[in-house]
Structure 1
Amino acid sequence: MANFIDRRLNAKNKSTVNRRRFLRRYNQQIKEAVSDAINKRSVTDIDSGESVSIPKRDVSEPFFHQGKGGERDMVHPGNDQFKPGDQIQRPPSGQGGGAGEGQASKDGEGEDDFVFQISKDEYLDILFEDLELPNLKKNQLAKVTEYKTVRAGFKADGNPSSIDIVRSLKNSLARRTAMAGKHKKQLKAAQAELERLLADPDENQADIKILEQEIEEIKARIKKVPFIDEFDLRYKNYEQQPVPTSKAVMFCLMDVSGSMDQATKDMAKRFYILLYLFLTRTYKNVEVVYIRHHTQAKEVDEQEFFYSQETGGTIVSSALKLMEEIVADRYSPHEWNIYAAQASDGDNWADDSPLCRELLNNKIIPFVRYYAYIEITARNHQSLWREYEQLAAEHENFAIQHIREVSDIYPVFRELFKKQVK
């Protein structure tokens, strides 16, 4: 029986054998460190790895040692102060010379906190742990599954109408080359020999006849190789692939009006980058629709959504109307799980806020799975927040949160998309 001995060097007093085990063991400390680190990042490097620092006291391990009191025999190096039989005074309690917890020793030395690097994937896994899209359902009629026909290579038998001519001819050429190649080499050699003998036909008449007969036999063997054989035929293969039954789209609505200063816009971008990373990390084939608005709303691509400098006044209802139009045009609520996340500083025309509530209540909330509104401001709430508060009280799939500073972004994000207890 083979015995494997792990001789890899571990840090002092540490029993973590590998990286994954270490991450599981100190999961809570790492999550706290990642949560603190995200607030210090810039918008552009929010999805890179991270150096995580864990306090020394959190990674220290218990160990066995001699307790105080009792009698024990010890052997010390020789010295010039004591003789055999001398009794040594015990040092007073608390006057040891070692380094204390979190402080340096008398000679100025001590231990720093434990610092290690986690990768981008590990960072994102920790960042979005226990999060999900609320109310995600399978949009599918009972006992009905839709399929679409897709190409799936080639097969050796099938309907004559599905023959792939190019692939069949390639197979034919390869087969004829393999079967007739040897005979063609013999034919070429025999023809060369015949030309040599024909240079003096009187002396080589007998050999010429034999060689001509041999050449005819070789040509006959070559002709017996069919141009196309049943073995060569290849047919196009098709398979029925089920169409995904859970399709989701996320609408991102961001206020870019003049009241949104650069710091406020950066916090909104942080929130949306977190949302985008969460969607792409956790789900497949989730579509994202970006809408920027001031007095007018416009559907934009990812680049323009995050980096455009366009600004103006504020009419929030323009974004809601555009969202409604896009849903009616491209995303049927019967086939799609529709989500929306709106970010604003709450500044809006007073007479437009009731219109926003009416649009949401009558035309948008009925078909969305979840609508999240975040207000980014240090000021008192204005009319838009008060109107949205009424919607939050009436609808379970409508949520509002308030962000005052950068440190609020990640906790608010986790609160909005925390995994539901079933």
Structure 2
Amino acid sequence: MQIVDRRLNPGGKSLANRQRFLRRAKDMIRDAVRNTAGERSLKDMERGGEVSIPASGVKEPRFHRDAGGFREHVLPGNKEYVEGDTIPRPRGGGGGGNEGSPDGEGEDAFRFALTQDEFLDLFLEDLELPELAKKRVVEGDASGVRRAGFATQGSPANLALGRTMRNAMSRRLALRRPKPQELEELEEALRLAEENDPAEAEALRGRIGVLRQRAMRIPYIDPIDVRYRQFEPAPKPIARAVMFCLMDVSGSMTEGMKDLAKRFYLLLHLFLKRRYKQVEVVFIRHTHEAKEVDEETFFRSPETGGTVVSTAFEEMIKVMEARYSPADWNIYVAQASDGDNTSADNDRTAHLLADRVLPASQYFAYLEVGREDDGGPIGFMPRETELWRTYGRLRTVEPRLAMRKVRHRKDIYPVFRDLFRKGAVEAQKA
């Protein structure tokens, strides 16, 4: 059987050459893809497109003729390297064009177009939901296969050699096919009889002839012995999980802060949609009151008001008790806020988080967004917010609670990756 790949090459170019280039320049392309998180608009976050990598990184090694002969070199020494040291490749960026760099050196950029699937695979590589436990599993899509016995017809690749040989042996034993050892013993007896007893030798020749004819009529392996493994589609068991997205949209959240929070949630939504088909997402927005909303409202609806964080937890607990029992579901929570809260609500927020939310959750990620100028002058220690202090006391005893701060678009992806990288909870415990 021959399998012919008739898929069209993208852009009229060689698919094999494209895949080889992606493998060879994967590290540079991946870094370029991740650097675009702070530059793209929200609606373009998941699309493919062009990325720029240093042109020097795409050069292929080649053989060339040596000048030949004997040459002597006198090389100056240095204080940094000794023989055997490995010098890392410089991580260049830079853009193309005709303008020179200030020091007289420059590097052109090589632009490479990625499809949406290639872009997302590189963008979300090595991420996972921490502590995903198989509580009560459900049957997922028919994305796997399972053994379904044996068949008398099938592909040579699925030949069940062990079962075929057992069938052949059973048939040979049932039909009493002569064994090779039995024929060898008779032939040895015939050799001795030919020297001493011609009558016995004649009888042995007849018996040997009968056994050989019988062996020819009963083959060692017959087509009726052959068996092929049979497979059928089978749904894979999937652990059920739900992600609660809690976003502060109160009046203290500026448009820049909301943009950072939305970028974080958009990355999270892309990650869940790409990697986990059966993970449900619950969107909750809150000011002084909280409400479960749909995806469109969560990302685009304008809203303002006071800040009472406990209302978001109360709404989450209400939804969880109604639809997502912790005994059956893996509960994940991602909260984004500027850290402000009504002073009278801090104790209740801490109580709900410590006694109701964290015990039911596999992982709780808190992202605190701020203004770009919140850092203050050099040597200035920024003020810790109400929520940061409240959550910080719980983090010392609860490794499933992760806290990060972000103030710039360019920091969104590194922070997101830090929160959902493989082994995030183990790193917190350590």
TM-score (norm 2): 0.61
With over 3 angstroms needed to count, the CA separation of the structure-2 counterparts of 1:111 and 1:310, relative to structure 1, is closer
Query: What is the CA-CA distance between 1:31 and the residue it aligns to?
Result: 1.0
Contact 1:146 1:242 in 2 (8 A): no
Query: What is the CA-CA distance between 1:111 and the residue it aligns to?
Result: 8.2
1 CA distance for matches of 2:345 and 2:30?
Answer: 42
1 CA distance for matches of 2:37 and 2:348?
Answer: 36
Contact 2:252 2:340 in 1 (8 A): yes
The aligned counterpart of 2:85 is none
- Structure with larger Rg: 1
**Match for residue 301 of structure 1 among 290, 294, 303:** 294
Matched, 1:51 2:50: yes
Query: What is the CA-CA distance between 1:47 and the residue it aligns to?
Result: 0.6
Amino acid at match of 1:309: P
Amino acid at match of 1:55: P
The aligned counterpart of 1:251 is 244
1:173-216 deviation line (CA, Å, top 9, x unaligned): xxxxxxxxxxxxxxxxxxxxxxxxxxxxxxxxxxxxxxxxxxxx
Equivalent positions of 1:23-422 (< 5 A) are 23-66=22-65, 70=69, 112-140=108-136, 244-378=237-371, 379=374, 380-420=383-423
Give 5+ residue unaligned stretches, structure 2: 1-13, 71-95, 101-105, 141-233, 375-382
Contact 1:139 1:245 in 2 (8 A): no
SS at match of 2:343: coil
2 CA distance for matches of 1:28 and 1:357?
Answer: 42
With over 3 angstroms needed to count, the CA separation of the structure-2 counterparts of 1:29 and 1:332, relative to structure 1, is same
1 CA distance for matches of 2:418 and 2:394?
Answer: 18
Contact 2:368 2:405 in 1 (8 A): yes
Amino acid at match of 1:18: N
Query: What is the CA-CA distance between 1:70 and the residue it aligns to?
Result: 4.1
- Give the share of equivalent positions with the same residue, in percent: 50
With over 3 angstroms needed to count, the CA separation of the structure-2 counterparts of 1:20 and 1:146, relative to structure 1, is closer
1:263-312 deviation line (CA, Å, top 9, x unaligned): 11111111101000100100112111000000000000111111111111
Amino acid at match of 2:339: G
Contact 1:16 1:22 in 2 (8 A): no
2 CA distance for matches of 1:337 and 1:304?
Answer: 25
Amino acid at match of 1:32: D
SS at match of 1:334: coil
Query: What is the CA-CA distance between 1:65 and the residue it aligns to?
Result: 3.6
Contact 2:54 2:107 in 1 (8 A): no
1 CA distance for matches of 2:39 and 2:235?
Answer: 44
Contact 2:37 2:412 in 1 (8 A): no
With over 3 angstroms needed to count, the CA separation of the structure-2 counterparts of 1:354 and 1:278, relative to structure 1, is same
Query: What is the CA-CA distance between 1:66 and the residue it aligns to?
Result: 4.8
Amino acid at match of 1:306: F
With over 3 angstroms needed to count, the CA separation of the structure-2 counterparts of 1:146 and 1:258, relative to structure 1, is closer
Query: What is the CA-CA distance between 1:39 and the residue it aligns to?
Result: 1.1
With over 3 angstroms needed to count, the CA separation of the structure-2 counterparts of 1:368 and 1:146, relative to structure 1, is closer
Contact 1:268 1:376 in 2 (8 A): yes
1:115-150 deviation line (CA, Å, top 9, x unaligned): 11001111110111000000001113xxxx8789xx
Amino acid at match of 1:348: N
Query: What is the CA-CA distance between 1:63 and the residue it aligns to?
Result: 2.8
Contact 1:344 1:375 in 2 (8 A): yes
Query: What is the CA-CA distance between 1:36 and the residue it aligns to?
Result: 1.1
Give 5+ residue unaligned stretches, structure 1: 1-14, 72-101, 149-240
1:203-239 deviation line (CA, Å, top 9, x unaligned): xxxxxxxxxxxxxxxxxxxxxxxxxxxxxxxxxxxxx
Contact 1:374 1:401 in 2 (8 A): yes
2 CA distance for matches of 1:55 and 1:311?
Answer: 45
Query: What is the CA-CA distance between 1:353 and the residue it aligns to?
Result: 2.1
1 CA distance for matches of 2:288 and 2:237?
Answer: 38
The aligned counterpart of 1:171 is none
Amino acid at match of 2:19: R
Q: CA RMSD in A?
A: 2.9
With over 3 angstroms needed to count, the CA separation of the structure-2 counterparts of 1:256 and 1:104, relative to structure 1, is closer
SS at match of 1:115: strand
Contact 2:37 2:409 in 1 (8 A): no
Amino acid at match of 1:126: L
With over 3 angstroms needed to count, the CA separation of the structure-2 counterparts of 1:298 and 1:105, relative to structure 1, is closer
With over 3 angstroms needed to count, the CA separation of the structure-2 counterparts of 1:304 and 1:16, relative to structure 1, is closer
SS at match of 2:344: coil
Contact 1:104 1:111 in 2 (8 A): no
1 CA distance for matches of 2:59 and 2:135?
Answer: 51
SS at match of 2:391: helix
Question: Which shifted more, 31-40 or 348-357?
Answer: 348-357
1 CA distance for matches of 2:340 and 2:138?
Answer: 46
Over 6 Å off, 4+ runs:
102-106, 145-148
1 CA distance for matches of 2:416 and 2:28?
Answer: 20
1 CA distance for matches of 2:99 and 2:341?
Answer: 60
SS at match of 2:241: strand
SS at match of 2:52: strand
